[in-house]
Amino acid sequence: MTEHASSEAQPHLGARFAGQVALITGASRGIGLGIAKRLQAEGATVVLTARKPEALAEAVAQFPEGTALAIAGKSDDPEHRAEVYDTIAEKFGRLDVLVTNVGINPVYGPLIDLDLDAARKILDVNVIGTLAWVQEAVHHEKLGFRENRGRVVSISSVASQVPSPGISFYGISKAAVSHLTKSLAVELGPDIRVNAVAPAVVKTNFATALYEGKEEEVASSYPAKRLGTPGDIAGAVAYLASSDADWITAQVLTADGGVVTAGGKA
């Protein structure tokens, strides 16, 4: 299969985020790192979080000096979130864009055999964690998130839209993220816009089990005839977070190469 030549390229980008500060969670690799690179390329100063300090340091080293900051920690840890927001307030004095990308799926198999402790952990990180990041951004007195007409973009999944055997509970958690997006948008408007992007299979380490060794077969069910890349999702997030989408809120943008409409699944 021929790789989509422009999916990761960022030529002739404007400066839609000049002077703005963006926080991207789960950004040491994959979709999160792709989003951070796109927002920085359009002028933002980016703050990246992830669990592993070494991987996060490697990610930040890929950015021009002074344009990216790394803060390692667990997304579902209240102390980590407080550290992140306090650091942003101290160093930059503002937050304009929040991208909640962190998501876990530690189990694979039928719902009927799902370990309930694993289910609780998935909900805690994917759903409660998403809500907590937004709550704390809005309530932080020194970030000015509401005053800056902040934008939230969360990462959902097409697994939230159609049953996806093997990753069903992950899909259930992402369905909650999609509904959370709409509910928050209603509550926080008109000052803060809240949207989400729902990808199908994107070529990252996180999704390897869904396509490794069978990429051609998996992609054949996509009208676009290829799987997604982090750059594809980054472009969608950048649009929703930009002034080009000022009249768009409470939406879940499906970025799936057409597979759901064609009757496929994640």
98-146 pLDDT, tens digit per residue, is 999 999 999 999 999 999 999 999 999 999 999 999 999 999 999 999 9
- The pLDDT tens digits for 224-237 are 999 999 999 999 99
pLDDT of residue 19: 97
Nearest to 35 by CA among 24, 51, 45: 24
With H, G, I as helix, E, B as strand and everything else as coil, classify residue 68: strand
- For 223, phi then psi, to 5°, come to -55, -30
Angle, alpha carbons 199-202-208 (nearest 5°):
130
Instruction: Compute the distance between CA of residue 155 and CA of residue 258 in angstroms, rounded to an integer.
Output: 18
4 pLDDT more than 50:
no
pLDDT of residue 1: 38
- The pLDDT tens digits for 52-100 are 999 999 999 999 999 999 999 999 999 999 999 999 999 999 999 999 9
Q: Is 170 a catalytic residue?
A: yes
Of 44-53, 126-135, 197-206, 250-259, the one with minimum mean pLDDT is 197-206
Q: Provide CB contacts within 8 A for 109, sequence distance 6+.
A: 166
- For 119, phi then psi, to 5°, come to -60, -45
Instruction: Compute the distance between CA of residue 105 and CA of residue 95 in angstroms, rounded to an integer.
Output: 29
pLDDT of residue 213: 72
pLDDT of residue 211: 65
Summarize the confidence of residues 240-245 as an average pLDDT: 98
Catalytic residue selected from 85, 108, 170, 239? 170
114-122: long-range contacts (C-beta < 8 A, 24 or more apart)?
A: 114/169, 118/169, 119/169, 122/169, 122/170, 122/173
